[in-house]
Chains A and B, each alone.
Chain A
């Protein structure tokens, strides 16, 4: 039972990761893809924070009468990763807005169709 719970977090994290990946592959809408990437990213965060947890530990803020602190290093890594993550997501969204302006759609299939159409009409003239 204990052995099972000891790895439970990892399994769910990988399941979430794969669901995020599936969203990126299966949905043709670019914003939906970005949400999938976000899910993937968050599950990696959960993986790192799970590594940092110590049984019976406390948050890594030095206090009297506390002996065991959880590992602060993954916390630092993930804290900055979250902020960098939102910064890169915003660049992605900005690109999507520009694609919408240029193609009139955020659907991958529409964009490919339009690209093909442009190439064909150019080769005729």
Chain B
């Protein structure tokens, strides 16, 4: 019964996604398209929740629906919100798309049925990860255990990619200068309501950071949530005030520090003749060594993501289009 309900929600959300993308294709207003894309991300997050991927849903809601939308709006401010009305002849494009789609749908015939517990996907690695997490790492959230310990190399690589993206945006757009806003936001309700919300967001960010071992969450989500508090402050009170709290110049250093914490944690285990990122070496008790390692690595990820996200936001809003 419950399973049928899950399936029903699943079908509804997917249908909703199709409608949203149709609307996004048909609009010439890029502002509308951006907002539709934000809604698309949010519905995707709900779908992930329905499919048991709580950590992924969390990330999609914070990163996809939240930060990407803010970023696209900042870009639209600089490039203008309207698409040329003339539509290109796209019969060839349509033909290619239909052909590719038909080939891919033909390919799905070989896919395992959704939810089949005996499909190849579930027979290798996953049962071992679930069992080893209980034996060797002893934290409830298997996703965090795999992310930070078993597949620590991958996550290190991804943290470096995020850092490099921040550097790339910095090289392309620069840090910019923000003139002090002459008139702060006049809306009293907005000003008063936002202040306590920012405090709550910051506390929630810390909770997500340190509770990631036990429930949904972790460094990636926490970094974005923490940065979103500062972004909200910028949007309401003006960015010049935020830049006083966290100067733009220290953000690249913070991001580098985050990557450094991750890397040094890996190097520390080399000192004890263990492989790179083997946290068993970090304590006399292997399990508490794992706990320490995951805590440090997640802290590194959180710091790197936070600093990079805020850096990218500063870069986009610091560009002065009239220059």
Q: Are A70 and B64 in contact (CB under 8 A)?
A: no
Of chain B, the residue at the smallest CB distance from A90 is B312
Task: List B residues 201-219 near A (Cβ within 8 Å).
Answer: 214-216, 218
- Most chain B CB within a 10 A radius of its CB, from A42, A51, A61, A82: A82
22 contacts between A and B (CB under 8 A): A10-B111, A10-B114, A11-B105, A14-B104, A16-B17, A19-B25, A28-B83, A29-B30, A38-B68, A49-B53, A59-B216, A61-B140, A61-B215, A72-B142, A75-B55, A76-B147, A79-B59, A82-B59, A87-B166, A88-B165, A91-B172, A93-B316
A83 → B minimal CB distance (Å): 5
Q: Which of B33, B52, B63 contacts A32 (CB 8 A)?
A: B33
Q: Are B129 and A7 in contact (CB under 8 A)?
A: no
Q: Given the complex, which residues of B lie within 8 Å of A56, measured CB to CB?
A: 3
A53 → B minimal CB distance (Å): 5
**A121 at interface by CB-CB < 8 Å:** no
Task: List A residues 85-121 near B (Cβ within 8 Å).
Answer: 85-91, 93-98, 100-101, 106-107, 109-110
A76 → B minimal CB distance (Å): 5
Map CB proximity to A onto B112-155 as digits: 1 under 8 Å, 0 otherwise: 11111101011001100110011000001111001100010011
A interface, size bucket: 35 or more
Q: Are B101 and A15 in contact (CB under 8 A)?
A: yes
Given contacts A10-B111, A95-B172, A97-B78, A86 and B142 within 8 Å (CB-CB): no
Q: Are B94 and A35 in contact (CB under 8 A)?
A: no
Of chain B, the residue at the smallest CB distance from A43 is B17
Given contacts A12-B17, A46-B44, A97-B316, A79 and B94 within 8 Å (CB-CB): no
**How far does the alpha carbon of A7 sit from the alpha carbon of B105 in the complex, in Å?**
10
Q: Are B18 and A69 in contact (CB under 8 A)?
A: no
Q: Are B64 and A26 in contact (CB under 8 A)?
A: no
A90 → B minimal CB distance (Å): 5
List the 3 closest pairs (A to B, CB-CB), nearest first: A6-B113, A87-B165, A55-B115
Q: Given the complex, which residues of B lie within 8 Å of A106, measured CB to CB?
A: 79-80
- Most chain B CB within a 10 A radius of its CB, from A53, A62, A72: A72
Q: Given the complex, which residues of B lie within 8 Å of A23, measured CB to CB?
A: 21, 24-25
Q: Given the complex, which residues of B lie within 8 Å of A98, measured CB to CB?
A: 172-173
**How far does the alpha carbon of A97 sit from the alpha carbon of B308 in the complex, in Å?**
19
Q: Are A42 and B308 in contact (CB under 8 A)?
A: no
B290 → A minimal CB distance (Å): 15
Q: Are A79 and B220 in contact (CB under 8 A)?
A: yes
Given contacts A76-B151, A86-B63, A25 and B142 within 8 Å (CB-CB): no
Q: Given the complex, which residues of B lie within 8 Å of A58, measured CB to CB?
A: 52
**How far does the alpha carbon of A118 sit from the alpha carbon of B121 in the complex, in Å?**
54
Q: Given the complex, which residues of A lie within 8 Å of B33, measured CB to CB?
A: 31-32, 35
A99 → B minimal CB distance (Å): 9
Is chain A's binding surface mostly helix, strand, loop or mixed? helix
Q: Are A31 and B114 in contact (CB under 8 A)?
A: no
Map CB proximity to B onto A14-41 as digits: 1 under 8 Å, 0 otherwise: 1111111111011111011011001100
B interface, size bucket: 35 or more
B220 → A minimal CB distance (Å): 5
Q: Given the complex, which residues of B lie within 8 Å of A27, measured CB to CB?
A: 25, 83, 88
Q: Given the complex, which residues of A lie within 8 Å of B129, measured CB to CB?
A: 72-73
**How far does the alpha carbon of A37 sit from the alpha carbon of B70 in the complex, in Å?**
17
Given contacts A25-B90, A28-B88, A6 and B115 within 8 Å (CB-CB): yes
**B256 at interface by CB-CB < 8 Å:** no
**B199 at interface by CB-CB < 8 Å:** no
Q: Are B52 and A59 in contact (CB under 8 A)?
A: yes
Q: Are A62 and B134 in contact (CB under 8 A)?
A: yes
Given contacts A8-B11, A72-B146, A25 and B108 within 8 Å (CB-CB): no
**How far does the alpha carbon of A29 sit from the alpha carbon of B111 in the complex, in Å?**
36
Of chain A, the residue at the smallest CB distance from B155 is A80
Q: Given the complex, which residues of A lie within 8 Å of B141, measured CB to CB?
A: 60-62
**B200 at interface by CB-CB < 8 Å:** no
Q: Are A54 and B21 in contact (CB under 8 A)?
A: no
Q: Are B40 and A62 in contact (CB under 8 A)?
A: no
Q: Are B71 and A93 in contact (CB under 8 A)?
A: yes
**How far does the alpha carbon of A19 sit from the alpha carbon of B94 in the complex, in Å?**
9
